Amino acid sequence: MNTATGILTALVLMIPASQVVADDSSELLKDALSAAPVSLRNQVTVMDWDNNVLQEGSSNYVCFPTPPTLQGTAPMCLDGPWQKWAAAWMSKQPFTSPGLGISYMLGGDEGASNIDPYAKGKTDDNDWIKEGPHLMVIVSDPKDLDALPTDPHNGGPYVMWKGTDYAHIMVPVRLN
């Protein structure tokens, strides 16, 4: 299962407790917080996949640890617009962002198709990309994406899933 599918499936549907690997809550908290910038870590709400709040926050960000359905790491922190995006993506409903949205995945991910929001794995023609640490940006006007490339190997920001309601800007970052 790719990162986008796994994270968002678990996020919107909230995996039942019987499917959650029994992990120590401090490890889940550490994993979830690795997605956020250091400056936000004390301000975000952190939830596990049982809907338990591991940390109360004062910002509009909610961070989740790597979904238990994934191998590797893929924690994510979502602001309000991104939480709405996730709900629309999961239900395959149209989506227009209510405004600028920023999501952090500073812990990296396990890969996704750059062109197909619902690809389940790498194929010869789906432009699979395993991004390292990055943030994601959504905008309310899709025309704002036209100035950016779609090539994930261009050395900077690029548009993922262009031409779909789920198009967003991927911004690779170096942590060192």
Cα dist from 110 to 24, 30, 31, whole Å: 22, 18, 14
Cα dist from 5 to 13, 34, 173, whole Å: 12, 20, 22
The number of folded domains in the chain is 1
The predicted structure's pLDDT at residue 176: 64
**Cross-strand partners of 112:** 129
Residue 153, classified by CB atoms within 10 Å of its CB into exposed (0-12), middle (13-18) or buried (19+), is exposed
The three-state secondary structure class of 33 is: helix
The predicted structure's pLDDT at residue 7: 52
Decide if 106 contacts 176 (C-beta within 8 A).
no
User: What CA–CA distance (Å, rounded) separates 83 from 31?
Assistant: 19
Residue 166, classified by CB atoms within 10 Å of its CB into exposed (0-12), middle (13-18) or buried (19+), is buried
Output helix, strand, coil percentages for the chain, rounded to the nearest 5: 25, 20, 55
Half-sphere exposure of 47 (CA within 13 A, CB side): 14
pLDDT in tens, the chain (176 residues): 455 444 554 454 443 333 333 447 899 999 999 999 999 999 999 999 888 999 999 999 999 999 887 778 899 999 999 999 988 988 999 999 999 999 999 999 988 899 999 988 899 999 999 999 999 999 999 999 999 999 999 999 999 999 999 999 999 998 76
Residue by residue, DSSP assigns 78-138 as E-HHHHHHHHHHHHT-----SS-EEEEETT--S-EESS-TT--S--TTS-EE---SEEEEE
Q: Whole domain around residue 13: which residue ranges? A: 3-172
Decide if 52 contacts 68 (C-beta within 8 A).
no
The predicted structure's pLDDT at residue 21: 39
The predicted structure's pLDDT at residue 12: 43
The predicted structure's pLDDT at residue 105: 96
